Amino acid sequence: MTERLALSEESFFELHARSHRSLRRYLIGMTGSVELAEELLQESYLRLLTRAPGSLAQPQLVRYLYTVATRLANDHFRRRKVEARWQASAAGDPARDEAEVERSDLLRALGRLTLRQRTLLWLAYVEELSHREIAGILDLGERSVRVLLARSRRRLEKILRESGVDRGRDR
């Protein structure tokens, strides 16, 4: 039987107030969909209440939420990729990614990154988390985060250069 979280109602509401906006923003940025982000956000809090270890402090609970949310999003995209391949092979047409339609240059560029690259960049530059915090969320080593983040930045820069977004920028 799963241990229930020893979190009072007041503590939960405090945690929710502290983390809800940034976690929602993170999920929207990661998924490109407000609706999907809302679903994943709710599921993340539900899993916090039903599965998180009871001994975690508030900062650890926030990290736990980000970890759960990231894994839920990864699972969603894995399922979607499998479904798209299946539909494409059944219909004989290549699958189309509707999220690519009518986006700004930056969003199109971010869409060309892998989910892991987008996640790393978002956690580092939007959420302003340390390499150690990112490592904990993504279950990676700190050194791996540094290397993968540097690669993600270079990849994004290359995509932006190729699309002509940084034309006016001096190097």
A 10 A CB-CB count for 137 gives: 25
Q: Is residue 134 within 8 Å of 123, Cβ to Cβ?
A: yes
User: Phi-psi region for residue 65, left (φ > 0), alpha (ψ -120 to 50) or beta?
Assistant: alpha
Q: In the predicted model, what is the mean pLDDT of the chain?
A: 79
Query: What is the tens place of the pLDDT at every residue in 104-140?
Result: 567 777 778 888 898 899 889 888 889 999 999 888 9
Q: How far apart are CA 92 and CA 117, in angstroms?
A: 30
Nearest CA to 16 among 56, 48, 38, 52? 48
Collapsing DSSP states into helix, strand and coil, what is residue 32? coil
Q: Residue 36: pLDDT band by 50, 70, 90 thresholds?
A: very high
Report pLDDT for 49.
85
CB 36 within 8 A of CB 76: yes
Is the pLDDT at 153 greater than 90, yes or no?
A: yes
Closest-CA residue to 117 (of 143, 155, 79): 155
Question: Amino acid letter at 102?
Answer: E
At residue 168, φ and ψ (nearest 5 deg) are -80, 0
- Helical residues (DSSP H) of 32-57, grouped into ranges: 34-51
The token pair at 86 is 């299946």
Q: Which domains does the chain have, with CATH numbers?
A: 1-96 (no CATH), 100-163 (1.10.10.10)
Each residue's pLDDT tens digit, 58-106: 788 888 899 999 999 888 887 776 555 555 544 444 444 443 333 456 7
